[in-house]
Structure 1
């Protein structure tokens, strides 16, 4: 767990302006794709590259805001925590998977047997007693 104290600071006007600009760049890329796709004068690959460029530009603009820096910090801390994870070996994974498959098969056979017994009890014995 992170021991740093969380600071709640408001978003400044400059950051809001940058985020709005990033949104406008993204919307402009999508609108341009839609506009020129209907026209048919621009190849599809150029349109897709334009949208990708708009996404990259919007992310780059947003990265220079306080929320963008917080996201970058979060991603960096997540990568640091992922390095601490002890992943199972291939042998452990195969053995665990085999045990799970075996348990599923055994439980489904047991549930099928219980269903068969209950069906025979209800249909053969109880319903015949009532008639």
Structure 2
């Protein structure tokens, strides 16, 4: 078990208020994007409107309890990704080659089994019945 495991607490009222505010800002950005589209505003202005709303909403949500937990999770994930040993190009090419050979061999094997079973069913069993 992880020694850093923490007991998660309920979301506080302030956090809920911040999350509601973030959703409202995002909704306002979507409404502004739609409104600007109906008034004939240029595409860059509409794009800036929605991007600004998303950035502000994420910034507000980042300072809540769930936002802090998400930031902590992302930091831990980046730390763990540094520990991963990725295969070299040569290892990847060799492994891909082995997989391709195995797929071809198994395909041939399954095709032969299918031909054998087809001949058994169609030639022997159906002819015995007639």
Q: Do Structure 1 and Structure 2 share a fold, with TM-score over 0.5?
A: yes
Aligned to 1:68: 67
Question: Structure 1, residues 73-100: CA drift from partner, whole Å, max 9, x if none?
Answer: 0000000000000111111111111111
> Within 5 Å, which residues of 2 pair with 1:110-125?
110-125=109-124
Residue 36 (structure 1) shift: 2.6
Question: Structure 1, residues 15-38: CA drift from partner, whole Å, max 9, x if none?
Answer: 11111100000011112222332x
The more displaced of 2-11 and 22-31 is: 2-11
Q: Residues of 1 paired with 2:6 and 2:118: CA distance?
A: 60
Structure 2 length-normalised TM: 0.93
Residue 69 (structure 1) shift: 0.8
> Within 5 Å, which residues of 2 pair with 1:1-131?
2-37=2-37, 39-131=38-130
Structure 1 length-normalised TM: 0.92
Runs of 4+ that moved beyond 3 A: none
Segments of 5+ residues of structure 2 without an aligned counterpart are none
Secondary structure at the counterpart of residue 124 of structure 1: helix
Across the two proteins, how many residue pairs are aligned to each other?
A: 130
Q: Residues of 2 paired with 1:18 and 1:24: CA distance?
A: 10
